Structure 1
Amino acid sequence: MFHYMLIFMAYHGSRWIPLSQRFKFQVVNALFVVVVLAPQLFVMGRPKSSRYCRQPLLNNLATSVALSIIASGFSVTFTLMDPVHQSLWAAFHVFGLLSCGHGLSTIILTLTAEACARTTPELYYMSVALTVTSTFSTGFFMVRGGLWLTKRQGDKQKQGETKRSSCHLIPFF
């Protein structure tokens, strides 16, 4: 789920920068992607990571690397496009659902992989870090979604009040 948050931050962070000056933001975006990808690739390349672990943590980490690369592509695309096309938004939300599913599976795999802390410690602790970031990201979007629903419900109530009150303003002849 933290992949979705990466794109969310890149999109909303770049909106206040004029389109002609977003190259500077792209540099920051690239540095952030390196900070996210470097530890994952380092742990994947470690010889201890290929040892036997009962849970498929290495496959999960490979999926996380793939999702991180896709997220970096989305974040670059979203910061370069000013009106974002509707089909790209749809693909982004499908990616968000995949990222959410990956985050939930990471949490489940990590919670059931305590024995892997002895056999593949780097892989296990990377999985713990991904679990923490996924939990934080999921909490963030749950709060944000709740606030969005609350605001939307308030907007519907205001619309109903204005419709009812405007009816009283129409003079009857």
Structure 2
Amino acid sequence: MLHYALVYVAYHTSRWLPRDQRLKYQIINAIFVALVLFPQLYVLTRPKSSRFCHQPLLNNLTAFIVLSFMATGFAVTFTLMDPVPQRFRAAYHAFGLLSFGQGLCTMALTLTAQQCVKTTPELYYLSSILSLACILSTAFFLMKGGLWVTTQRLSLLGQRGNNI
């Protein structure tokens, strides 16, 4: 859910700024995207990354880069639109499910690719970092979802108490 989290952070931080200053935020957003994409593209172009690895970490990295570009598109779209149409929000949440699946694949492939440290070290270490980032972002949304459910439940209990 790393990509989902990146778009979430971009959207909510852009809402702190007045509408007339959001174009300035796009420059910061572009720099942030470059910081996220640069290590991925760097490792992809390294000669060692094309060596044989028992697990398809290189294919997984390519899919991760594609999702990073998609997240960039969502971040730019969401920070420029006010209000965001419901269809874009629905597409974003579907993208979140795709991002979650990609994170699971990244974690599973990294856990089973310990022998790749010797053949493709940069690819393995980047995959490990991305797996950790996916775990942390998933934990964030699980906590956020748990707090949301608790808040909804408490508000329902409060409404029932007022009706008695």
Tell me the TM-score normalized by structure 2: 0.98
Matched with 2:33 is 33
Matched with 1:111 is 111
Determine the C-alpha separation between the residues in 2 that align with 1:28 and 1:143. Answer: 28
Matched with 2:128 is 128
Matched with 2:102 is 102
TM superposition shift of 1:117: 0.5
Determine the C-alpha separation between the residues in 2 that align with 1:163 and 1:67. Answer: 48
1:92-148 Cα distance to aligned partner (Å, 9 max, x none): 000000000000111110000000010100100010010110011011111111101
Determine the C-alpha separation between the residues in 2 that align with 1:150 and 1:12. Answer: 22
Determine the C-alpha separation between the residues in 1 that align with 2:66 and 2:55. Answer: 19
1:3-34 Cα distance to aligned partner (Å, 9 max, x none): 11110001110112111110111111111100
How many aligned residue pairs are there?
A: 164
Aligned residue runs from structure 1 range 57-96, under 5 A: 57-96=57-96
Tell me how large the CA RMSD over aligned residues is. 0.7
% identical equivalent positions: 55
> Residue type matched to 1:154 in 2?
L
Matched with 1:163 is 163
Gaps of 5+ in 2: none
> Residue type matched to 2:115 in 1?
A
Determine the C-alpha separation between the residues in 2 that align with 1:82 and 1:160. Answer: 35
Who wins on radius of gyration, i.e. which is larger?
A: 1
Structure 1 segments (4+ residues) deviating >6 Å: none
SS in 2 for 1:22: helix
SS in 1 for 2:55: coil
TM superposition shift of 1:85: 0.3
Tell me the TM-score normalized by structure 1: 0.93
